Structure 1
Amino acid sequence: MFRKAVIIIGFAVSLPAGNAAAQKSVDCKSPETQTDMNHCAAQDWKAADGKLNEAYKKAMASMKKTDSYLPKDQKGAADTLRDAQRDWIPFRDKACASYGFLARGGTMEPMLVANCKTEVTQQRTKQLEELAQGLGN
């Protein structure tokens, strides 16, 4: 009995590693299975999130610069941006989780959530890029 449990546990532990290895070879230009589509959607979101982080850093630098020349009673650009971003993240996550309910419990749910996060993140990235540019550019 103990030997069977060890074999079952060993098999279960090896599954995620094998699955991850299989996903690394997915061609996201033409995914063939729902698992592939889920993987590609997650990769797209990861890339969009990376661009968002870059845009946020630039926007924050711009807001700090704005704060540097404002009178003391008008400062707050950087704090406001930070607070807005902290509020935006849970909004994005909840909005996209609700989108996932279109296929709740199905194999498409992760793809729908990831695609939503990608789209909403790209929209937010554009807003942050505009903040970083300012009005005079």
Structure 2
Amino acid sequence: MPDFRLGFAAAVLLISALAALAQDGAPTLDCGKATAQPDLNDCAYRDYEAADADLNAEYRKALVKARVLDGEYDGQPVAVDALKSAQRAWIGYRDGQCVLAGLQARGGQAEAMLVSGCLAELTRSRTQELREFAEREG
């Protein structure tokens, strides 16, 4: 079975590089009015970047909560280890699922937009799960 993660990582890096190039000296892109596919791709990637930043903030809060829980149980890192394991597994799921989502436009200009849109959607969902864990009583 081929390892799609390498291709996925390359695609995300390419999208990021193209987004950065598009921003250098270019007028600010209004994603609410974007109609050209390269602009739509860039906007979808920006949406994912924002969702990822939110996820990272919530993950840090969840780690704090996990450390508190572990401290309540003789300092054994069960909660921290479980959270890290779950996050690694989720990343693998997210990446594979979003490669599948992009295949609707395989090789086409919209593939990057579909992948980024999937990344943003799944990331927002995971962010909510982490938020609920961090805010849970006990």
TM bucket by the smaller chain? 0.7 to 0.9
| Matched AA of 2:88 | R
Contact 1:23 1:36 in 2 (8 A): no
Q: Which runs of 5+ in 2 are unaligned?
A: 1-17
How many percent identity over aligned positions? 40
Answer with 1 or 2: which has the greater Rg.
Answer: 1
Structure 1 residues 88 and 38 mapped into 2: Cα distance closer, same or farther (>3 Å)?
same
Shift of 1:16: 8.9
CA distance in 2, matches of 1:54, 1:70: 25
Hey, what does 2:107 align to over in structure 1?
105
Shift of 1:118: 0.4
Shift of 1:88: 1.0
CA displacement 1:84-116 (0-9 Å, x = unmatched): 111111210110011100010011100000000
Task: Map residues 49-128 of structure 1 onto 2, 5 A cutoff.
Answer: 49-71=52-74, 75-128=77-130
| Matched AA of 1:94 | G
Structure 1 residues 16 and 33 mapped into 2: Cα distance closer, same or farther (>3 Å)?
closer
Hey, what does 1:4 align to over in structure 2?
none
Hey, what does 2:13 align to over in structure 1?
none
Which protein has the bigger helix share?
A: 1
CA distance in 1, matches of 2:43, 2:119: 13
CA distance in 2, matches of 1:46, 1:91: 18
CA distance in 1, matches of 2:21, 2:74: 58
CA RMSD of aligned residues (A): 2.2
Contact 2:51 2:123 in 1 (8 A): yes
Aligned residues: 121
Hey, what does 2:6 align to over in structure 1?
none
Shift of 1:25: 2.1
Partner of 1:121, secondary structure, is helix
What's the TM-score once normalised by structure 1's chain length?
0.80
Hey, what does 1:46 align to over in structure 2?
49
Contact 1:23 1:39 in 2 (8 A): no
What's the TM-score once normalised by structure 2's chain length?
0.79
Hey, what does 2:34 align to over in structure 1?
31
Picking from 128, 132, 135, the partner of 1:130 is 132
